Amino acid sequence: MQRRHFLRSVSSLSAAAALVPAHTWAQGAKPALTPVKFTLDFKVTSQTAPFFLAAAKGYYAQEGLDVQIDVGAGSVASLTRVASGAYDLGLGDISALIEAHAKGSLPVQAVYQYYNRAPFVIIGRKDRGITTQMASLKGKKVAAAAVESTRRSWPMVAEQQQLGSDFFEWVTTDFSARDNVMVRGDVDAATYFHDSAVSLFQRMPPEQLSVLSYAEAGVHLYGNAIVASTALMKDKPELVRGFLRATQRALLDALANPAEALAAVRAREPMLRDDQERARWAITRTYLANAETAQVGLGRIQPAVLQQQIAQIGKTFGLPQLPTVQAVWNTGFLPTAVQQGAGA
């Protein structure tokens, strides 16, 4: 009799348990995190420190996300990875996204503007007569990879500055050889992402070099943005919002305490040089937080500026049709606006 009563009690408890959510029944057990795959545009450096800091400090986990951060192979590859569904989110250049939309329907949109300005620069040797003015490049030899963003965007600078198409001579050089040809003096200047030029600065004193900025030449291009697939935004909007909230939170922390952010990056890539990454981040932050972000907030854009960029890219690359701002950029997932200036 007692055994039958015990079995009935167990049966009742089992039936009741089936009606109770698993996380409630588990007596304090944490709910499972949602896996998220995020692709960088390139290798791991301090340029993307906030993403690693968000993971290290548990910000993604607090949003219910288990984020896997993988190295990339360029912006086009990032867009392809996200469009195919192989990755949920990625980091990619807005100009590349505009081109992709202009050439056909692409199920990917920008959702957070990471680089408020593209860090496109040409770095020249002062002993070759190069100053911070684009006019000083006349007749010089400028090294660049065959297909890279800074080189491809040069016609916009040439038009803005009213310079001829053959203003200087391009010397096609592999990415890995640019520092060498600059140090040896085989060329007078070379194209760089500004924050990627720290390797050159380690070999040549910065006071011997001039930095010619595309932005200061009047070409205002937004740079890398966080992108998401339209399917993800439709099916899991809170995942996108949570990822952006956590990332912006870490970006604020990185701006306020760079050492903490750099430690998170070096935990992922221990072989990185601390001095080089500090110098890199000091440059990167000026493109992430600047006068515009102080006005409109981190991660945001001004539609008129993006519209101008779309028009410039269409003209430069002879695109058959141009996408709208709304086709390229989706503002519906941005976290609460945070104003943050370059002096943060």
* Residue 10 predicted with pLDDT over 60: no
> What average pLDDT does the segment 236-250 reach?
98
* Residue 305 predicted with pLDDT over 90: yes
* Residue 17 predicted with pLDDT over 50: no
* Residue 21 predicted with pLDDT over 50: no
pLDDT, the chain, mean: 89
pLDDT (0 to 100) of residue 24: 34
* Residue 5 predicted with pLDDT over 70: no
pLDDT (0 to 100) of residue 22: 34
Nearest to 189 by CA among 117, 113, 136: 136
pLDDT (0 to 100) of residue 341: 55
pLDDT (0 to 100) of residue 105: 79
Q: Which of 272-281, 298-307, 313-322 has the lowest mean pLDDT?
A: 313-322
CA distance 285 to 306: 21
Give percent helix, percent strand, percent coil of the chain, each to the nearest 5.
50, 15, 35
In one letter, which amino acid is 180?
N
CA distance 225 to 236: 19
Please, are residues 182 and 204 in contact by the beta-carbon 8 Å criterion? yes
pLDDT (0 to 100) of residue 29: 55
DSSP code for 29: P
pLDDT, tens digit, for every residue of 51-88? 999 999 999 999 999 999 999 988 999 999 999 999 99
pLDDT (0 to 100) of residue 164: 83
Q: Which of 201-205, 236-240, 336-340 has the lowest mean pLDDT?
A: 336-340
Please, are residues 90 and 78 in contact by the beta-carbon 8 Å criterion? yes
Residues facing 37 on adjacent strands: 68
- Structure tokens given for 164: 């001829």
pLDDT (0 to 100) of residue 23: 37
pLDDT (0 to 100) of residue 104: 85
* Residue 262 predicted with pLDDT over 90: yes
pLDDT, tens digit, for every residue of 109-167? 999 999 999 999 999 999 999 999 999 999 999 999 988 899 999 999 999 999 987 89
pLDDT (0 to 100) of residue 30: 67
DSSP run (H or E) holding 115: none
Tokens 């410039």 appear where?
312
* Residue 216 predicted with pLDDT over 80: yes
* Residue 236 predicted with pLDDT over 90: yes
